[in-house]
Structure 1
Amino acid sequence: MTQTLKCISPIDGSVYAERPVMPADEAAGLVAKARQAQKAWARRPLEERIALVKAGVARLNEMADEVVPELAWQMGRPVRYGGEFGGVNERADYMASIAARALAPIGIENSDLFSRTIRREPHGVVLVIAPWNYPYMTAINTVVPALIAGNAVALKHATQTLLVGERIVRAFHEAGVPEDVFVNLFLDHAGTEALIAARHFGFVNFTGSVGGGQAIERAAAGRFTGLGLELGGKDPAYVMEDADVDWAVDVLMDGAMYNAGQCCCGIERLYVAAPLFNTFVEKSVAWVEKLKLGNPLDREITIGPMANRRFADEVRGQTRDAVAQGARALIDAKLFPEDDGGTYLMPQILVDVNHQMRVMRDESFGPVVGIMPVKDDAEALMLMNDSPYGLTASLWTADPERAEHLGVELETGTVFMNRADYLDPALCWTGCKNTGRGGALSEIGYHNLTRPKSYHLRKRQA
């Protein structure tokens, strides 16, 4: 009996989309065709590959009227935010603009006797396993540079955003990228792991949970397949006594609550210098109380449902446990009657929290943030590093030297000063500890999607 992948809409619990799981031989056949087509794709001039990829992104933009409500139905983001096109375009444009430099050969010698050069060689077929929370941007992070670098790409999307891979691949095909060079796979976890274990790919990029990353590593064990893994996060912020409080509140509350808190680098725990603590908390509560929870198809709504009830239940459980251990919840449930105990989850701010509570230790990935006062930089640094994760950390101060000094000591992939919850395509997107390994975007992203190949050519035989 054929298995089916079903996207259950968080809006109303209906089956929004479904696709049959590809049989193993069909999926392997698509990847084999991609491997055959990759050589010819890599032989095309770089300028031609760039132009076709940019045309694919442009075609995707033309689908906005369909894509934006589809996203609301699939994962709950309010339509008022217009999808993910701002980030998609910024990242794609930047990666296209640096491709020639990032992929340029490194010339060592070109004399009468020797030519010695290091070139960048595509891996072959790159598998992109994309998540549901930012399904377009996270996919584009790898799809665009992988194709530009001369790889073929197989895209496997999360079931929660089942239509996104289909939509991206169609846009690129309609723009002229050969069909066999960029393929979409409808697979379950077992089918994905089987393809990796059978060494069908030269590189695998996965964005998702720590458990998912561990499963990918197990599948690739002994295959010498390159891996890029962006996994969990529990990103902290530290607001120092010289910070602009209003600016910090505006950015950090948005970083904690936007997309119903379902952001890889969203702010999940806050440490505030004791003299500012009460003011910061008061202003944060006022900020959050202005949010409007409800159906994401309504343009007045600022916070939609979480993508799945089990995600919302985890956040409720963390919040309930924290309150039972002495935390105080500052947002009145009466302000958010739309919280139905299902996918619609009200935002919450917790104080009197500590690191024995799950809400300050485990990934929440929802609209809840704990705020703690700290007496000095040393205490803030200790608490920020007291986590199994390391994706980003946000520092708020008027003193860049102080921020840089703290940044050196932070166990994280990116250090922000006076901003948060942003991905700069010119910088390597990376993490440490349980957040994973590897790096996307920037010139380093191109290096991870290619391998070095050395040419040592002696021009005379004697």
Structure 2
Amino acid sequence: MGQTLKCISPIDGSVFAERETLSREAAFDAVARARSAQTGWAARPLQERIGLVMAGVAAVGAMNDEIVPELAHMMGRPVRYGGEFGGFNERASHMAKIAVESLADIEVGEDAGFKRYIKRVPHGVVLVVAPWNYPYMTAINTVAPALIAGNAVVLKHATQTLLAGERMAQAFASAGVPADVFQNVFLDHDTTSALIAGKAFNFVNFTGSVGGGKAMERAAAGTFTGVGTELGGKDPGYVMEDADLDAAVDTLIDGAMFNSGQCCCGIERIYVHESLYDAFLEKAIAIVKGYKLGSPLDAETTIGPMANVRFAGEVRSQIAEAVEAGAVAHIETMDGDDGGAYLTPQILTDVTHDMRLMREESFGPVVGIMKVSSDAEAIELMNDSDFGLTASLWTRDLERAQAVGDRIETGTVFMNRADYLDPGLCWTGCKDTGRGGGLSVIGYHNLTRPKSYHLKKVAG
């Protein structure tokens, strides 16, 4: 008998869903079935795999009316925002569109004596460990291209969004993807580590905490199993003196507060040129004061609870420590703040990098804003971080943004936008944000391995 995983709803602290984990024996058996089914799946024509995967995506879309309130119950996102299917479909559709070209043989040369080329072949069985904050969009980043490339996929979802993986597997099976080729499993940490250490998988993709990423790498040590990770972030925004002020405020504050700040590439610190600082701050405060904190099931709610009381507690601690050290909090406690999962969104000034708020991942609805006088100062502050996922630059000067971007230690540089994942670009990070890359042609390269053919022809 496995342990019971329980999804505790942030709405009211009740148990919304629970599932039993697989025993170690049952888990290894599930992976064995995936491995057995993978060869037949990989042998199918690429266009057939693409069609079945996209039919699975459409089947998820058909569930959206049920998924949206389910997400509100599981992790607190307000129903007014309509779920994740737009981004889910955009990412899968792009990967389907570029699959033929991305997976095509690389022709090296052919003459009377030799034929030489490089194929991209699937790894085999891919484990996808997905997070709760965007449970559908983060999962599809790997699930769609992995399946299209000919891998079998085993999906393990976060307990906070216990039902998301189950829905995806059911939808894809209903569309014709063989049940053993795409499986959702419920696993405890020890069994997951045992599977990885036991070489059950050919590739592991993990999105989550730095600690979780380290656990994945420890489990894979010595197995030569590839591990791709997207871990913590402390993404900065930099507003230059020539920026479109209104656009910068609207986008950066939304990037900091949307989904109660629980975004992988959410904005967690903002540096504003001294000439715009006062105006930026005034507008930012006005936006946040206009939010309605409340039940995510209420269509009027613009910011819901954090996904877990524990997560909100960490954000409250960071805010309290910063204020005690001299920071100024600009948002009064809102009526909906219950001291638990429902947390007042906050803007802090007079912050420094000595404060945890400006160094450690907050992953909540809080942002620190600092005044800067030059690109050099902003670059130094942006790079003063253990993390490197995205940076958002605000200027009318494309060449200046490129020059600043070249000096920032980050995976993605945005100009005049933030908190967006473009499936045509590689989603990647550096430093403690992890290693690897998803989506784009590079996503296919990471989910396959090169296989070289050097064929000598026999004369006559």
Q: What TM-score does the superposition give when structure 2 sets the normalisation length? A: 0.99
The 2-side partners of 1:55 and 1:37 are apart by 19
* 1:83 match: 83
Deviating runs (4+, > 3 A) in structure 1? none
SS in 1 for 2:276: helix
SS in 2 for 1:303: coil
* 2:303 match: 303
Kindly state the Cα deviation for residue 461 of structure 1 after the two structures are TM-superposed: 6.2
RMSD of aligned alpha carbons: 0.8
Structure 2 CA distance for partners of 1:2 and 1:42, relative to 1, 3 Å: closer
* Pairing of 1:34-73 with structure 2 (within 5 A): 34-73=34-73
The 2-side partners of 1:2 and 1:64 are apart by 31
SS in 2 for 1:292: coil
The 1-side partners of 2:243 and 2:5 are apart by 48
Kindly state the Cα deviation for residue 110 of structure 1 after the two structures are TM-superposed: 2.0
Kindly state the Cα deviation for residue 305 of structure 1 after the two structures are TM-superposed: 0.5
* Pairing of 1:335-414 with structure 2 (within 5 A): 336-414=334-412
The 2-side partners of 1:368 and 1:74 are apart by 22
* 1:183 match: 183
The 2-side partners of 1:237 and 1:15 are apart by 38
* Pairing of 1:62-461 with structure 2 (within 5 A): 62-333=62-333, 336-460=334-458
Kindly state the Cα deviation for residue 2 of structure 1 after the two structures are TM-superposed: 3.8
1:89-146 CA-to-partner distances (Å, cap 9, x unmatched) read 1101000000000000001112221110100010000000000000000000000000
Task: Count how many residue pairs are aligned between Structure 1 and Structure 2.
Answer: 460
What amino acid sits opposite 2:149 in the alignment?
Answer: A
SS in 1 for 2:347: strand
What amino acid sits opposite 1:458 in the alignment?
Answer: K
The 1-side partners of 2:399 and 2:127 are apart by 41
SS in 2 for 1:16: strand
SS in 2 for 1:146: helix
Kindly state the Cα deviation for residue 190 of structure 1 after the two structures are TM-superposed: 1.1
Structure 2 CA distance for partners of 1:438 and 1:80, relative to 1, 3 Å: same
1:302-360 CA-to-partner distances (Å, cap 9, x unmatched) read 11100000100000000000000000000111xx1110011001100000000000100
1:153-180 CA-to-partner distances (Å, cap 9, x unmatched) read 0000000000011000000000000011
The 2-side partners of 1:84 and 1:198 are apart by 35
The 1-side partners of 2:2 and 2:340 are apart by 30
Kindly state the Cα deviation for residue 460 of structure 1 after the two structures are TM-superposed: 1.3
What amino acid sits opposite 1:426 in the alignment?
Answer: G
1:37-68 CA-to-partner distances (Å, cap 9, x unmatched) read 00000000000000000000000000011111
SS in 2 for 1:13: coil
What amino acid sits opposite 2:387 in the alignment?
Answer: Y
> How many percent of aligned residue pairs carry the same amino acid?
70
The 2-side partners of 1:196 and 1:281 are apart by 48
Extract unaligned runs of 5+ from structure 2.
none
SS in 1 for 2:42: helix
SS in 1 for 2:177: coil
1:58-79 CA-to-partner distances (Å, cap 9, x unmatched) read 0000001111111000000001
Q: What TM-score does the superposition give when structure 1 sets the normalisation length? A: 0.99
The 1-side partners of 2:325 and 2:2 are apart by 47
Kindly state the Cα deviation for residue 283 of structure 1 after the two structures are TM-superposed: 0.3
The 1-side partners of 2:145 and 2:2 are apart by 35
Kindly state the Cα deviation for residue 253 of structure 1 after the two structures are TM-superposed: 0.6
The 2-side partners of 1:68 and 1:212 are apart by 27
* 2:4 match: 4
Extract unaligned runs of 5+ from structure 1.
none
* Pairing of 1:9-20 with structure 2 (within 5 A): 9-20=9-20
The 2-side partners of 1:110 and 1:79 are apart by 58
1:213-250 CA-to-partner distances (Å, cap 9, x unmatched) read 00000000000001110000000010000001100001
What amino acid sits opposite 2:346 in the alignment?
Answer: Q
Kindly state the Cα deviation for residue 281 of structure 1 after the two structures are TM-superposed: 0.1
